[in-house]
Amino acid sequence: MSSSIKTVGFIGTGLMGLPMAKNILSKKFKLNVWNRTPDKTLELQKKGAKVFKDIKDLVQNSKVIVSMLANDDVCKAILIKKIQPYLQKGQIVIDMSSTTQNTALEIGKALKKKKAFFLDAPVSGGTIGAEKGTLAIMAGGDKKIFNNVMPLFKSMGTAIYVGKTGCGQVAKLANQTIVGI
């Protein structure tokens, strides 16, 4: 594990997020969690995660924040409206949700105002890949930040750097298109 990343915040413990968060916890990261439906965090709490009732507290106690949310609107509502006001310079936000490239760019721009870093890193592999820690992760953003969080990515699957912010979403869309053919 990277010595610079010890505590990870995780937002969104649904069908994909819960097993992803379990894998992070199993790799000896300290895990902070928040979910709109608090009952969905109980299993992680039993395994040693710290559950926050207020998202502000999660942000203030996590160097890196990972989100796995339902859609573009939820991502913008949580990452821009609820998280961005509390971010500090140098914090890292990794959105692993599947959104549009425009949403990723909008979130990246909003977080940059706080001098925080943003990676859009959607995944492929479904719930089975999330459970087994074998997700394909396509990440866009600052390459140095990508390299810095690689131990975190490895806890969930195999990550590939695909370019600047927004490129993760484009790569995911291309992957899904090819798989669907």
Helix (H) or strand (E) holding 180: helix 167-180
Q: Which of 12, 10, 13, 15 is nearest to 27 (CA)?
A: 10
State which amino acid sits at residue 89.
Answer: K
CA 29 to chain centre: 14
* Active-site residue (options: 30, 53, 82, 172): 172
Q: Which of 111, 171, 112, 116 is nearest to 140 (CA)?
A: 171
Q: Is 34:44 a contact under the CB 8 Å cutoff? A: no
For the chain, what's the residue count? 181
Query: Which tokens belong to 150?
Result: 């690689």
Q: Known catalytic residue: 40?
A: no
Beta-sheet strands, E only, within the chain: 7-11, 30-34, 50-51, 64-67, 92-95, 117-120, 123-124, 135-140, 157-163
Point out the residues that are catalytic.
172
